């Protein structure tokens, strides 16, 4: 397998296109807006983007219900705008990942319409139709529900919301008395694979640099141990290696031991599953001085999957994303600096969700927009400055796709750029430091040297013997860190401004990199 060289240092910025920058005043972000803001992202230090789905869609799940995989949704622009965005990014040495949704389509996709009409045409088995309208798919792994009575065929399996019927990549072990369960290597399952490959080829040929893959684990049904799903992705990876060796794929899977074995270059630790990701910034966050958070289980999990995955792929930690509460929900400004020092000194490609770099708030109790539900609070417009709509759009405030944060003290980019002590400038400095320090690059080694139980210092060495020691004391009291004895601080963050010089004690709410 080949690994693109650029992944060694890539730092990603996730853009929710609806809410990033609106250039035509219709209240919703667009591709030209992203292109106009590339210099901001580059100046921040990120050199790769992940853009949430921006394809034609009825938007029952904010675009994760794709109606036409090959067409940019008119509200964001045209395919030509996307081509211009790829080019503008490449001119700046940046890469662009699109969001590939292979597990399902919208009920309005042509494939689904054809599939509903007939049980004989080429799309008859493109979705998982049972032969009875009373089938419930109960207890089948990776089928989240069903639709029945939508046409004169049986029941069709659903992958997420009921507007998202599951594409048919087959069953790991089809049950003999259920002939409607295709095998993973049946002609219909292979036809679905081939069409997804064509969609990848379409965007990669236009200049796209790879994909974040939605629900990547979900394709083959009833696949205990994910053997068949892993086989399927290994075939996709072989295709990329052969035709687009510089392209990268990152899975929404949340189990790097499986996804990296499946050929993904990267996987995320996520707010669901057993990674204890939430122990970092969310439930009882380790990085909060007020909480009594404990990273013991996080570290145990991390070590386990890293050992299982080997060094071939990257385990990526997001600041947050469009599905979870923003990182600022439970952390103060000072605590956010420590959290970013962690994010930007861990292995894997860091992923920064738009607005987290200025500490945008999670907006509580927002009315749901386009199937966002409680996720809507993390999807509000980017705050650029203190003008109308925080500089996001010239539309009337009541016409915005999602209302802007109404807090008078809401952070914005312009003010933070002008303030040396702002979170934004700290994030910029941290990124610069990471880029200049090879020991911190994405694929370099990590070794934990302190337990990080409640109230304890978290510390790890990056880059092996002679590398860099990263240490964190989020607590409100100074903490002993004997392993720092004799080391020289290279980078420091300290809320109390107390410094570390020649000491083995970390001041309250501090982080440092040492050698
Ligand atoms: C995961 C995506 O991140 C989420 O936003 C979406 O609703 C589901 N997959 C379904 O595609």
14 CB within 6 A, ligand 1: no
List all residues 6 or more positions away from 190 whose beta carbon is below 8 Å from its beta carbon: none
State mean pLDDT over 475-496.
Answer: 92
Pocket mutation for ligand 1, best pick of 53, 103, 160, 273 (most atoms within 8 Å of C-beta): 160
Compute CA distances 334 → 287, 474, 490, 508, whole Å. 10, 9, 19, 11
pLDDT in the model for residue 372: 98
State mean pLDDT over 13-34.
Answer: 99
Give the position, in ligand 1's atom list, of the atom nearest the Cα of 160: 10
215 CB within 6 A, ligand 1: yes
Residue 50 has pLDDT above 70, yes or no: yes
- What is the whole-number distance in angstroms between the Cα of residue 198 and the centre of ligand 1? 22
Give the position, in ligand 1's atom list, of the atom nearest the Cα of 65: 11
Residue 375 binned pLDDT confidence (cut-offs 50, 70, 90): very high
Q: What percent of the chain has pLDDT over 90?
A: 93
Contact between residue 327 and residue 319 where contact means Cβ atoms under 8 Å apart: yes
214 CB within 6 A, ligand 1: yes
**In this structure, which residue's CA is closest to atom 4 in ligand 1?**
323
pLDDT in the model for residue 502: 66
- What is the whole-number distance in angstroms between the Cα of residue 192 and the centre of ligand 1? 20
257-309: pLDDT as tens digits: 999 999 999 999 999 999 999 999 999 999 999 878 999 999 999 999 999 87
pLDDT in the model for residue 501: 67
DSSP per-residue codes, 2-48: ---GGGGT--EEEE-GGGS--SSSSSS--HHHHHHTHHHHHHHT--E
- What is the whole-number distance in angstroms between the Cα of residue 214 and the centre of ligand 1? 6
Buried b (16+ CB within 10 A) or exposed e, 490-502: ebbbbbeebebee
- What is the whole-number distance in angstroms between the Cα of residue 159 and the centre of ligand 1? 10
64 CB within 6 A, ligand 1: yes
List all residues 6 or more positions away from 410 whose beta carbon is below 8 Å from its beta carbon: 360, 361, 383, 390, 404
pLDDT in the model for residue 2: 80
Helix (H, G, I), strand (E, B), or coil: what is residue 86?
A: helix
State mean pLDDT over 322-339.
Answer: 98
Pocket mutation for ligand 1, best pick of 323, 353, 368, 369 (most atoms within 8 Å of C-beta): 323
- What is the whole-number distance in angstroms between the Cα of residue 163 and the centre of ligand 1? 12
Give the position, in ligand 1's atom list, of the atom nearest the Cα of 161: 10
323 CB within 6 A, ligand 1: yes
H or E stretch at 51: strand 48-51
Q: What is the phi/psi pair of residue 11, to 5°?
A: -125, 125
Compute CA distances 322 → 185, 353, 362, whole Å. 34, 8, 11
pLDDT in the model for residue 290: 86
Residue 179 binned pLDDT confidence (cut-offs 50, 70, 90): very high
Tell me the C-alpha distance between 329 and 332, whole Å: 8
Residue 135 binned pLDDT confidence (cut-offs 50, 70, 90): very high
- What is the whole-number distance in angstroms between the Cα of residue 272 and the centre of ligand 1? 13
Mean pLDDT, the chain, rounded, equals 96
- What is the whole-number distance in angstroms between the Cα of residue 45 and the centre of ligand 1? 27
- What is the whole-number distance in angstroms between the Cα of residue 63 and the centre of ligand 1? 9
Residue 118 has pLDDT above 90, yes or no: no
Buried b (16+ CB within 10 A) or exposed e, 333-360: ebbbbbbbbbbbbbbbbbbbbbbbbbbb
Residue 493 has pLDDT above 80, yes or no: yes
State mean pLDDT over 222-241.
Answer: 97
Full set of structural domains in the chain with CATH? 10-101+269-306+314-434 (3.20.20.80), 443-514 (2.60.40.1180)
pLDDT in the model for residue 309: 76
Q: How far apart are the first and last CA of the chain?
A: 34
Give the position, in ligand 1's atom list, of the atom nearest the Cα of 375: 5
Tell me the C-alpha distance between 310 and 293, whole Å: 28
252 CB within 6 A, ligand 1: yes
Pocket mutation for ligand 1, best pick of 64, 211, 321 (most atoms within 8 Å of C-beta): 64
DSSP 166: B
Compute CA distances 208 → 99, 316, 515, whole Å. 11, 20, 39
385-426: pLDDT as tens digits: 999 999 999 999 999 999 999 999 999 999 999 999 999 999
pLDDT in the model for residue 495: 86
């Amino acid at each position: 397998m080949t690994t693109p060289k650029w992944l060694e240092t890539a730092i990603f910025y996730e853009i929710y296109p609806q809410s990033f920058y609106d250039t035509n005043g219709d209240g919703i972000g667009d591709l030209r807006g992203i292109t106009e803001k590339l210099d901001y992202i580059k100046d921040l230090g990120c050199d790769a983007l992940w853009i949430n789905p921006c394809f034609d869609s009825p938007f029952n799940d904010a675009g994760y219900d794709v109606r036409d995989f090959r067409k940019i949704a008119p509200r964001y622009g045209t395919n030509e705008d996307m081509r211009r965005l790829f080019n503008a990014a490449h001119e700046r040495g940046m890469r662009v990942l699109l969001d590939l949704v292979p597990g399902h389509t919208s009920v309005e996709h042509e494939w689904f319409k054809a599939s509903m009409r007939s049980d004989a045409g080429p799309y008859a088995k493109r979705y998982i139709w049972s032969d009875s309208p009373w089938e419930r798919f109960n207890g089948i792994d990776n089928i989240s529900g069903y639709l029945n009575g939508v046409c004169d065929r049986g029941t069709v399996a659903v992958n997420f919301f009921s507007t998202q019927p599951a594409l048919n990549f087959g069953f790991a072990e089809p049950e003999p008395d259920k002939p409607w369960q295709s095998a993973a290597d049946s002609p219909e399952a292979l036809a679905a694979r081939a069409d997804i490959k064509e969609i990848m080829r379409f965007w990669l040929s236009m200049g796209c640099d790879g994909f974040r893959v939605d629900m990547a684990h979900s394709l083959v049904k009833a696949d205990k141990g994910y053997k068949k799903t892993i086989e399927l992705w290994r075939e996709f990876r072989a295709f990329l290696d052969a035709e687009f060796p510089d392209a990268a794929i990152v899975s929404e899977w949340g189990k790097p031991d499986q996804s990296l074995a499946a050929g993904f270059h990267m996987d995320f630790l996520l707010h669901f599953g057993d990674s204890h990701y939430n122990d970092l910034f969310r439930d009882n966050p380790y990085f909060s001085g007020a909480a009594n958070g404990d990273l013991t289980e996080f570290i145990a999990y991390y070590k386990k999957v890293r050992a299982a995955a080997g060094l071939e792929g990257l385990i990526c930690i997001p600041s947050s994303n469009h599905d979870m509460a923003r990182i600022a929900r439970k952390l103060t400004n000072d605590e956010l600096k420590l959290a970013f020092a962690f994010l930007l000194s861990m292995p894997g490609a860091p992923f920064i969700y738009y607005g987290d770099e200025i500490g945008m708030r999670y907006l509580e109790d927002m009315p749901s927009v386009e199937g966002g539900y409680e996720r809507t609070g993390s999807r509000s417009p980017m705050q650029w400055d203190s003008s109308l709509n925080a500089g996001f759009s010239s539309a009337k405030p009541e016409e915005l796709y999602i209302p802007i944060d109404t807090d008078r003290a809401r952070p914005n980019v312009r003010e933070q750029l002008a303030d040396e002590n702002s979170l934004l400038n700290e994030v910029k400095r941290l990124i610069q430091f990471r880029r200049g320090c090879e020991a911190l690059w994405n694929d370099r080694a990590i070794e934990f040297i302190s337990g990080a139980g409640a109230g304890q210092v978290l510390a790890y060495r990056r880059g092996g013997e002679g590398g860099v020691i990263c240490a964190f004391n989020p607590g409100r009291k100074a903490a002993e860190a004997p392993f720092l004895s004799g080391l020289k601080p290279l980078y420091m963050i300290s809320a109390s401004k107390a410094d570390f010089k020649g000491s083995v004690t970390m001041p309250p709410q501090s982080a440092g990199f040492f050698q």
